[in-house]
Amino acid sequence: MSPRWRLLLLTLALLALAPGLWRVARAMPPFGSPTSLYGPAINQLAPAARHVSNMVAAVNFDFRGFDTLGEETMLLCAVTGAVVLLRGSRGEGGRDRAGRLPGRTVAPRADATVLVCRLSAALVLLFGVYVVLHGTVTPGGGFQGGVIAASSFLLLYLGEGYDVWRRLMRGPLLQLLEAGGALAFVVAAAVPLIRAHPALTNLLPLGQFRSLYSGGLVLVVNDAVGLSVTGSFGMLLLEFLEETRSSASDPVPDEEDT
């Protein structure tokens, strides 16, 4: 199908859908008014029931915890798939040294760049850990904090250059973080089963409302997700950056194409 035909087909489809869309939009509840009872009910009950002041974390890691377990698995699968695809030609060996392209010059960095990157990488990593740990109390949580912590790795790369960065970033350590976090989530979900409770039942002491150690199992799962997300995104950075160092002329082991 030529691009013109595809665009024509899209236009026709959108035009056909437009009246339905208009009716649905008109039938939607007015913007800014409560639509479901579920959310307000959680806002009412969760602070007393779970001693958690961040309702989003309470929903994510407790009330819809099983759903989040599925999403965590999805994240793990997507990252595993990306890593397998990227490694493709490089093989599974997972060398620890930086790959090198012959003839690529290493651009010298200004001292100021190195200093700023070192300082900000440390601060960003610290902030990421802070956001993860305070997930049950203030805005944040495992998902956000994990991504922030992983972004500090990129700052480190910016300042130190690839060789040093590659020595600092240990593939096995990141894999351990990624898989260990996911495993901790699964264990947290499974342990209540042994005691004949539904999965992810919050049996741990709930702690004090608005304190760092509040939420019981919510905090455990939150931290597990934080570890896993840090490992996942660190792993992605590692594999994508390693990809820029593998030369294009590398033979692609291929069964059917050639």
Partner 1 sequence: MSGSFGSLSFGILPWLIAAWLFAVGLYGIVSSRNYVHLIGCLAVCQSATYVLLLAIGLHRGAGPPIFYDHPPGTRAVDPVVQALVLTDIVVGAAVTALLLAIALQVQKRRGSVDPQALRPLRPTQ
Which residues, including other chains, have CB under 8 Å from residue 119's CB and lie 6 or more apart? none
Shortest CB 64 distance to partner 1, Å: 6
- Does residue 213 touch partner 1 according to CB under 8 A? no
Closer CB to partner 1, residue 39 or residue 205? 39
Tokens 């919510």 locate to 218
Shortest CB 114 distance to partner 1, Å: 28
DSSP state of 29: P
- Distance, in Å, from the CA atom of 143 to the CA atom of 81, rounded to the nearest integer, reads 20
Which residues, including other chains, have CB under 8 Å from residue 167's CB and lie 6 or more apart? 96, 97, 98
Shortest CB 26 distance to partner 1, Å: 6
Closer CB to partner 1, residue 140 or residue 216? 140
Which residues, including other chains, have CB under 8 Å from residue 123's CB and lie 6 or more apart? none
- Does residue 210 touch partner 1 according to CB under 8 A? yes
The dihedral built from the CA positions of residue 141, 147, 152 and 153, taken in this order, carries a sign that is positive
Which of 143, 153, 157, 185 binds partner 1 (CB under 8 A)? It is 143
Which residues, including other chains, have CB under 8 Å from residue 198's CB and lie 6 or more apart? 192
- Does residue 114 touch partner 1 according to CB under 8 A? no
Q: Is 242:90 a contact under the CB 8 Å cutoff?
A: yes
For residue 71, what are its two tokens?
Answer: 């999403």
- Does residue 26 touch partner 1 according to CB under 8 A? yes
Binding region for partner 1 (CB under 8 A) out of 152-160, 162-170, 216-224, 238-246 = 238-246
Closer CB to partner 1, residue 133 or residue 159? 133
Draw the binding track, 47-76, toward partner 1 (x: CB under 8 A; -: no contact). Answer: xx----xxxx-xxx---x---x--x--xx-
As a dihedral over the C-alpha atoms of residue 243, residue 246, residue 250, residue 256, rounded to 10 degrees, the angle is -10
- Does residue 32 touch partner 1 according to CB under 8 A? yes
Distance of CA 54 to CAs 146, 216, 229, Å?
Answer: 17, 13, 19
Closer CB to partner 1, residue 31 or residue 110? 31
Which residues contribute to the site for partner 1 (CB under 8 A)? 3, 6-7, 10, 14, 21, 24-26, 28, 30-36, 38-40, 42-44, 47-48, 53-56, 58-60, 64, 68, 71, 74-75, 78-79, 81-83, 85-86, 88-89, 137-139, 141, 143-144, 147, 210, 229, 232-233, 236, 239-240, 243, 248, 252, 254, 256-257
